[in-house]
Amino acid sequence: MKKLIAVMLALVLVLALGATALAADTLTVAFSQIGQESDWRTANTDDVKNAIEGAGWNLVYDDAQQKQENQVKALRNFITQGVDYIVFTAIVTTGWDEVLAEVKEAGIPLVLIDRFPQTGFADDSWYTTYFGGDFPEEGARAARWIVNYYNSLGRGSEEVNIVRLEGTTGADAQVGRSKGFDEEIAKTPNFKVVASQTGNFTGAEGQAVMESLLKSVEKIDVLWAENDNMALGAIEAIKAAGLQPGKDIIIVGCDAIKLAFEAIVKGEMNCTVECTPLMGSRVVEVITGLEAGETFDKVVHPVEYVYDSMGGIPYTADGAALTLKAEDHVSERLY
C-alpha cells in the first residue's frame, strides 16, 4: 500500500510540474487601448481582447482614457512586467519616440493596430506589422461619394457648402481622413469645406459642435463627420433646429457601425465609409506567426466598402467600386 501511495504521489508531482511548465510557456500579450470614445472603439476593444484570450494567452489590458501620458505609463509597465508581446494603438500621432525606443530595447515585439504612430527612427525595425484602415483613402472615398451623389442628381455644378466634424486632433485617423478628403474635394472647386471643427470622435461633442455650426454657418449642404458617432450626435442637433437630416443636410460618416446603418435606413443619414474594428483575428495570426518565425508585410489594410441609402454610387478614383445598399447589410453588422 505504501508503495502504491508513493507511486501516486510521484504521478501527482509529475502532473503538477507539467502543468507549471505549461503555464510558464503561455504567452502574455499586453494591449494598450486609447479609451472607449465610440461604439467602434468598444467593438475594437472587445474583439481584440476576446481573440487574445481565445487563443489561450494571458491578457494584460490597459485603457488609457484618452490620455497619451496614460499610454506611455502603460507601455513602461508592460516592459517592467516582461510581457511577450505588446498590441498598441496610439491615441495621437507624435510623441512616442522615447517610450517606443524603450520597448524595442526590451526586445518586446510591437504589433500596431488601427492607428500608426509617427517616429524619428532610422528604420522600421521598431515594430512588427501594422493592421488598420487606410485613413487618407477613407477621407477621399467620402469626398468622391459626395461629388458623385450630387452628379447623380444632376446637381454637380451647384455651389455645395460642406462642414466637417473632425476626430481627435492629431490622431492618425483624423490627420489621414482630413488630408484625403481635402485633396479629393479640391478637384471639384464648387464643393467647399466652409467650416471644420473637432468633435473628438464622440457623439456628445458632435452634437454640441453641430449646434454651434448651425448658428454660425449661413448655408450648410453637407456634413462630413470623421466618425459615425459624431454624425449621429449631429443628427440630433439638426433635428432640434427644425431641419431634416439626410434631406436638408446630406450626412456622410465613417466607420460603418450598425447605428449608422439604421440611421441610413431611416433616411436620417446618407452614407458611411467602412473602417472595420474587427482586428482580433489579425492580432492572433501575427503573434502565432511570429512565434513560428514568420515575417509580415509592414502595412496591411483590410478590404472595406462604402454603404449608402441606394447603392451604386462610385467611390474609388477609377469608379470601379460602387457603394452597397446599407439596408441590405444592416442585419450582418456585428458592431
pLDDT digits (tens, 9 = 90+) for 58-109: 999 999 999 999 999 999 999 999 999 999 999 999 999 999 999 999 999 9
Q: What is the pLDDT of residue 25?
A: 72
Q: What angle do CA 168, 169, 171 make, to 5 degrees?
A: 70
The pLDDT score that the predictor gives to residue 18 is 41
Count CB-CB contacts under 10 A for residue 319: 11
Count, residues in the chain: 335
Same fold, 27-132+278-300 and 135-275+305-332: yes
Please state the rounded mean pLDDT for residues 266-295. 98
Backbone φ/ψ region at 242: left (φ over 0), alpha (ψ -120 to 50), beta? left
* pLDDT beyond 90 at 120: yes
pLDDT (0 to 100) of residue 5: 40
| Region 135-275+305-332: CATH code | 3.40.50.2300
Amino acid 20: pLDDT: 35
Percent of the chain with pLDDT over 90: 92
d(CA 122, CA 99): 16
What is the pLDDT, as a whole number, of residue 9?
Answer: 36
Write out the DSSP string of 257-307: -HHHHHHHHHTS--EEEE-----HHHHHHHHHHHHTT----SEE-----EE
- Superfamily the domain 27-132+278-300 falls into: Response regulator (3.40.50.2300)
pLDDT tens for each residue of 124-174:
999 999 999 999 999 999 999 999 999 999 999 999 999 999 999 999 999
Domain assignments of the chain as residue spans, ordered by start:
27-132+278-300, 135-275+305-332
